[in-house]
Amino acid sequence: MTKATRFLTDQFIKKSTPQAKEYKIGDGQNLHLLVKPNGSKLWLFIYTHPTTKARKKINIGQYPYISLAKAREQRNSFHTLLTEGIDPTEHKAQSHQEAMRQAETLFNFAETQWKPKKAKEVKKRTLDDEYARLKLHLFPLFGHYRLADITLLEAVEKLRPLSITRNSTCSKVVIYFCEIMEYAVICGLLPHNPLYSLSKAFYKVQATHQPTIQPSELPEFLSRLQNSRIMPTTKLLIQWQLLTMVRPAEAVSAEWSEIDFDNALWAIPPEKMKGKKDKPRQHIVPLSSQALAILHEMRLFNGDKKHVFTSQRKPSQPCNSEAANRAITVNIDKGYYKGRLTSHGMRSIASTYLNDCGYNKDLIEACLAHISGDSVRNAYNKSTYLTLRRELMQKWGDYVAECKAHG
C-alpha cells in the first residue's frame, strides 16, 4: 500500500510508525519511503524502464543513514538519466563494472584471466616456467599497478637493469608483459596497449648454440665420464640421453610403461614432447642394442619404480632434468666440460656424426624430434619410416659403443 503522495519532512518521517504490513509513503517524482514492520525505513525509487516500459525499483538506502536531502538528490540524478533514455539500474551496474576495470591490477588480471586463457594454449610445464619467471622479475615491479597506470616509459626504466644483467630473461619477460597488456585490451580493460613497442627499447642478444664437442672427441668424454665419481645411475642417464638423442627433460621422464622391449621402441607421449599444446605429437624412439643395455642395467636400480631414472629424494618422481647437465659441466674432472659441452649439446654430436656418414638430413631431423613446415621431413616421424630410423639409431649406438671401448 502506498499512502498519498506528499512532500516529506524529517519530522513526518520520524513519526511514521511501523504497522502489521509494510507500506510506502510517496515524496513525489518516483521517490518513496518504505516503512517495514520491524521499524526500518528504506528509500525506493520506483520508475518505468525508458525502453521496455517495465516497472522497476532501486533501493537507495536506509533512513536516516541516507537523509531526505540525499535521497532527493539521488532521485534527481535518476530522472536526469531517464530523460536521456538511460535506465538508472543499468547505468549503475555499468558504472560499477567500469570502476572495477579501472581498479584492476596487473597481477590480478594475469592471475584470474590471462593465465587460465594461456593454460589452454601451451603445455603446463611451459606455462609454469614462464609464470615463475613473471613472479620473479615482473610482478614485484608492476604487479600492484593498475593496468591503466602502466606506461611505456616506466616499463623501460624498471626493466632496463634486468636487460643489462640477464638480457635473455628480460626478452622473455617483455614478450609476456606485452601479451598480458594486449589481452587486457581485448577484454575491454584498456583502450590500447601502451607497451606495443616495448621490445624495441632493448637490444637482442644473438641466439647461441648449446656448447658441444666433435664426434672425434667422444672417446675422451666417455672415458672421463667412466672414471669420474658421478653416481652410476647418473652415468647411465647421460649415456641414455646420448644414445636416444632426446632432450634432457624427455630423457629423465622415461617410464617403464613406455618401453616396448619386444620391438625395441620407446613411445614418448605427446604431453612430454616439446611443442605447442594445440599440436601434440608422439615421438617414437627406435632403441639400439646399446640403449636396451642401459635399460637392463637400470632395472637393477629402479625396476620396481614408475620411472627409469628416479629422484633420490622422491622415488615416485623422475630425477631433475638438470641432473645430467650438472654432472657434465661440474662433476667431470672438476668442471672440465664447463662451457665446452652441455647435456643438450650431446644431440649435436649425434647429428654431426650421422650427417658426416651421409644419412638423409630429414631422417636425422626426425630422430631429433625436430618438426618443421616441411611435410616430407615430418613424414619421417611416421611408422612407415621406422625401419630407416632404426638403422640410423643402431649406427649411432655402434659408434658410441666403439668410442666407449677405445676411450
Catalytic residues: 247, 274, 344, 347, 370, 380
Burial class (CB in 10 A: 0-12, 13-18, 19+), 206: exposed
For residue 405 the three cell numbers come to: 671401448
Give buried/exposed letters for 351-377 (b at 16+ CB in 10 A, else e). Answer: bbbbeeeebeebbbbbbbbebeeeeeb
Q: Using an 8 Å Cβ cutoff, are 394 and 284 in contact?
A: no
> How far apart are the C-alpha atoms of 377 and 354, rounded to whole Å?
16
Q: Using an 8 Å Cβ cutoff, are 222 and 407 in contact?
A: yes
| Contacts of residue 318, Cβ cutoff 8 Å, sequence gap at least 6 | 252, 253, 254, 307, 309, 310, 311
DSSP summary character for residue 92: H
What sign does the CA torsion over 283, 289, 290, 291 have?
positive
Q: Using an 8 Å Cβ cutoff, are 403 and 219 in contact?
A: yes
Residue 89 has, within 13 A of its CA and on its CB side, a CA count of 14
Residue 94 backbone dihedrals phi, psi, to 5 degrees: -65, -35
Pick the closest to residue 397 from 299, 294, 310, 270 (CA basis).
294
Residue 236 backbone dihedrals phi, psi, to 5 degrees: -70, -35
What are the start-end ranges of the H helices in 190-341?
A: 218-227, 232-244, 248-252, 289-302, 323-326
> How far apart are the C-alpha atoms of 218 and 111, rounded to whole Å?
47
Q: Which residue type does 3 have?
A: K
> How far apart are the C-alpha atoms of 238 and 209, rounded to whole Å?
20
> How far apart are the C-alpha atoms of 288 and 389, rounded to whole Å?
10
Residue whose C-alpha cell is 658441444: 212
Residue whose C-alpha cell is 584492476: 104
- Please name the helix (run of DSSP H) or strand (run of DSSP E) that holds residue 42, with its range, or none: strand 41-48
> How far apart are the C-alpha atoms of 345 and 330, rounded to whole Å?
15
